[in-house]
Structure 1
Amino acid sequence: MNAEIAQTACPHAGRDDRKSARIAAANLAPQAGSRVVGSFALGRDVLRSPKVRQAGAHADDTNITNPDEVSFFFLDGDLHRKRRAAVAGLFTPKTIVTRHHVVMHRTMDQLVARLREGKPLPLDELSFQMAVDVTAEIVGLTDSDSNANLARRVKAVLDSSLDRRPGWLGNLIFNAKMLLRVGRFYRNDMAPAIAARRKQPRDDVISFMVSENYSRKAMIMECLSYGGAGMMTTREFIVMAAWHLFDKPDLRDRYLTGGEADQSAILEEILRLEPVASMLHRRAVEPQPGVMEDGEVLCVSIREANVDEAITGPCPFELDPDRAKRMKVVGPYMSFGDGPHRCPGAQVALHETRIFLDRMFRLPGIRLVSEPKIIWNSFIQGYELRGALVACDPA
């Protein structure tokens, strides 16, 4: 049935609702020597295969000879499964609704109060605060002097990790910045949380690491991995989704009048068109006939897979919230990856975004004062959105 739909001509030929397509096309850089996979079906086979291991800049630069010193994000096989299973309960639908929603609404109460003062505020800073607060609850970073200071320190570390210049001087500056900022983050945010969990464990990542006697280095690596995965990507997606809703009044009205399922469908379709992560690399450790050769590095292009008409049907570049239901696809296509390394916090991110936008767009007079500027981060091979200002009528 999907193939039949895919063969139907698009009645809106030439329409493209993607905002990040042009900058991605100009800057995407798969790993040298890799084979790009744009087919949704083949990409899914690669990501689900037990015969591959992670590849790409982050994975290739990670020393896994001592797995106890490596975040589970970079492990494969049984080690990855066991470590992931240990914290899986933090991402269940029940936990999201009964526990994380409390944090999301508490943060939105604070952000709404700031917006009701009537001054234009940076949308990426508001969305980052939401992402930091929720991730901090999951990880266990809840004993800092303030959530705002935690957000600033995390941002400083993550920004440093992306600002590496070539050459010995670049490495020297990079190492100095990282040492200073990671030390500040550990001293003010991690150390108090670890001390608290030693006295009274909770259901969070730091409590698990304490119980397993993780080293300081391993704890820092794990916390920063959650920070990169849970904070940076969610920040960008909230801004991107808001931009689409500001630009499309009919879609915004549907978002505000529809139920949770309709809101989720809208967000998942936006994410299909505008995936924050653009590509995933895998290295074959065994041949798989028709899929890959031994030792081959494959680059699964999320952007191409998400517009593969064999799975999307006609008009793949249009924002159509009814597409997934019509095509009988569950979730936002390949935007959170697939297989054993599929993003564990996918549903958390969608709930954060849904609640953030629902609360913000119900504010009287909410408006986009200035549109975001799209910039490309070559290190993570993804877009960033900066400079968007939002304001509403003062209370």
Structure 2
Amino acid sequence: MTDTAHPSDLPELPRQRGCPFDPAPGYQALRESAPISRITFPSGGSGWLVTRYEDVRTLLSDPRFSSRLAVSAPHVRSAVAALPEQPLPGALLRLDEPEHARYRRPVMRAFTVKRVQQLQPRIQQIVDERLDAMEKAGGPVDLVAELALPVTSLVICELLGVSYDDRETFHRLAGQLLAIESSAEQGQQARAELASFIAALVAAKRERPGDDLLSTLIAEADADPGSPLTDVALTVLGSLLLIAGHETTANMIALGALTLLEHPDQLAALRADPALADRAVEELLRYLTIIQFGLVRVASEDLTLGGQAIKAGDYVVASLPSANRDPGLGIEDPDRLDIARDSAAHVAFGYGPHQCLGQQLARAELRITLTSLFARFPGLRPAVRVDQLPFRDDMIIYGLHQLPVTW
């Protein structure tokens, strides 16, 4: 790669938040003065930061910006683990088209709108059981540990065919994989342990199939000699789905609940008109944008983005939080939370061919959990001051480590 210099006169990737519900203020300054700007990464490299909505969408949909070449891109981590030059089969986040689509297409069938609608009664049952347990225990309780994580973990476990009894293992591995300050060795060890865990599960499903996604994918692969879904690919896909399937939505549930509690006018509007639930979910996704440090690509050739010349081999980061606060998104006062507005054009799930494949499931989990939570506990409130809460500034995915609440 050409982009390895660390010039001391370049600004750093913005990381320091002023308000826990807003992106770092440095993004707004760059978006207004230098929307595609050279920056330095904590890992020591340099590249381009893209902060405007339209430029981010262009970047994420242009095939000349490669995910494959970004396999070892310097980004927010100070320690970059050595990864295989060739991405593993099924590594959706690190593949370009058309290879990416060959692995994504079979999995997408489990996350269609129709399939998620079929799952909603079970999601509601899981949520109700967790709320029953909260009510029985009495406050204060940690909303992360008692609601957000169990709901999302149970749903993805049942979908994939993973035993919920193994949740401590994959919660621990997720923490190691998503922590900014994890060493290269810790990251490699966590990836290896997760791969071993999922590989054993794939082998067990081959011997004793169940009514779950992994069993279905195994059966489809066995019936099609041309299928790309080898056991290695299934292991890689299963690892991604297990971690992403619970971590992202769990953090959105907890942070979304706190955001509504801190915006009582918006919570009151939702309670007065439950039909606003879908719009409220989209607005929370936009407003919070928990993929807090963006997505990395690498230019595969010399090109121009937003009038800026970018050379082949340059690293480019799409700032999703900045794009979702850009007036170019087409909404009024994007720094204000407004659950009644139409903000569905946001890029919280990314954009283009790599857009989050589980987004429909995430929306359903968010809507069901948040509406049920506030209906059950009308007096819900944080048990400590917001400035005492442990926000996930130290993680790739933003949110809360804990959220003590009472009612």
Task: Give the TM-score taking structure 2 as reference length.
Answer: 0.76
Aligned-residue offset at 1:229: 1.7
The change in CA–CA distance for 1:185 and 1:110 in structure 2 (over 3 A counts) is: farther
Choose the corresponding residue for 1:82, options 102, 127, 140: 102
Is the partner of 1:299 in helix, strand or coil? strand
Choose the corresponding residue for 1:303, options 313, 317, 321: 321
Aligned-residue offset at 1:41: 0.8
2:284 partner amino acid = I
Which residues in structure 2 correspond to 1:44-83 (within 5 Å)? 44-54=57-67, 56=70, 61-63=82-84, 65=86, 67-68=88-89, 70-83=90-103
Choose the corresponding residue for 1:150, options 147, 157, 166: 166
Partner residue of 1:102? Answer: 121
Which residues in structure 2 correspond to 1:360-371 (within 5 Å)? 360-364=373-377, 365-370=379-384, 371=386
Which residues in structure 2 correspond to 1:177-192 (within 5 Å)? 183=196, 192=204
Choose the corresponding residue for 2:132, options 113, 118, 131: 113
Question: Using the alignment, how far apart are the partners of 1:130 and 1:205 within structure 2?
Answer: 20
Question: Using the alignment, how far apart are the partners of 1:316 and 1:64 within structure 2?
Answer: 40
Partner residue of 1:245? Answer: 260
1:266 partner amino acid = A
Q: Is the CA contact (8 Å cut-off) linking 2:253 and 2:366 kept in structure 1?
A: yes
2:295 maps to 1:256 = no
Partner residue of 2:13? Answer: none
Question: Using the alignment, how far apart are the partners of 2:121 and 2:373 within structure 1?
Answer: 17
Question: Using the alignment, how far apart are the partners of 1:355 and 1:104 within structure 2?
Answer: 8
Choose the corresponding residue for 1:160, options 171, 176, 183: 176
Partner residue of 1:12? Answer: none
Question: Using the alignment, how far apart are the partners of 1:216 and 1:111 within structure 2?
Answer: 35
Question: Using the alignment, how far apart are the partners of 1:48 and 1:317 within structure 2?
Answer: 25
Choose the corresponding residue for 2:243, options 228, 244, 247: 228
1:233 partner amino acid = T
The change in CA–CA distance for 1:92 and 1:350 in structure 2 (over 3 A counts) is: same
Question: Using the alignment, how far apart are the partners of 2:128 and 2:72 within structure 1?
Answer: 36
Question: Using the alignment, how far apart are the partners of 2:41 and 2:279 within structure 1?
Answer: 30
Question: Using the alignment, how far apart are the partners of 2:21 and 2:109 within structure 1?
Answer: 35
Aligned-residue offset at 1:40: 0.8
Q: Deviations over 1:203-255 (max 9, x none)?
A: 61443146436565543332221123221111111111100111222211222
Question: Using the alignment, how far apart are the partners of 2:370 and 2:26 within structure 1?
Answer: 25
Question: Using the alignment, how far apart are the partners of 1:277 and 1:66 within structure 2?
Answer: 22
Structure 2 unaligned spans of 5+: 1-17, 28-39, 75-81, 223-228
Question: Using the alignment, how far apart are the partners of 1:77 and 1:178 within structure 2?
Answer: 24
Is the partner of 1:116 in helix, strand or coil? helix
Q: Deviations over 1:40-92 (max 9, x none)?
A: 11111110112121165667854263643x42232111111121111212111
Partner residue of 1:133? Answer: 154
Which residues in structure 2 correspond to 1:239-388 (within 5 Å)? 239-260=254-275, 262-278=276-292, 279-291=294-306, 292-324=310-342, 330-331=344-345, 333-364=346-377, 365-370=379-384, 371=386, 372-377=389-394, 380=396, 382-388=397-403
Partner residue of 2:213? Answer: 204
Aligned-residue offset at 1:124: 1.2
Select between 249-258 and 265-274 the one with higher mean Cα deviation: 249-258
Q: Deviations over 1:134-192 (max 9, x none)?
A: 22233232xx2xx2x232221022123345654xxx73x666666667656765x6654
The change in CA–CA distance for 1:120 and 1:192 in structure 2 (over 3 A counts) is: farther
CA RMSD of superposed structures (Å): 3.2
2:137 maps to 1:122 = no
1:136 partner amino acid = C
Question: Using the alignment, how far apart are the partners of 1:310 and 1:23 within structure 2?
Answer: 17
Question: Using the alignment, how far apart are the partners of 2:63 and 2:142 within structure 1?
Answer: 43
Q: Is the CA contact (8 Å cut-off) linking 2:214 and 2:234 kept in structure 1?
A: no
Is the partner of 1:76 in helix, strand or coil? coil
Comparing both structures, which one devotes a greater share of its residues to helix?
1
Question: Using the alignment, how far apart are the partners of 1:290 and 1:181 within structure 2?
Answer: 37
Question: Using the alignment, how far apart are the partners of 2:330 and 2:323 within structure 1?
Answer: 9
Structure 1 unaligned spans of 5+: 1-15
Partner residue of 2:225? Answer: none
Question: Using the alignment, how far apart are the partners of 2:372 and 2:331 within structure 1?
Answer: 33
The count of aligned residue pairs is 353
Aligned-residue offset at 1:266: 1.6
Q: Is the CA contact (8 Å cut-off) linking 1:271 and 1:335 kept in structure 2?
A: yes
The change in CA–CA distance for 1:366 and 1:330 in structure 2 (over 3 A counts) is: closer
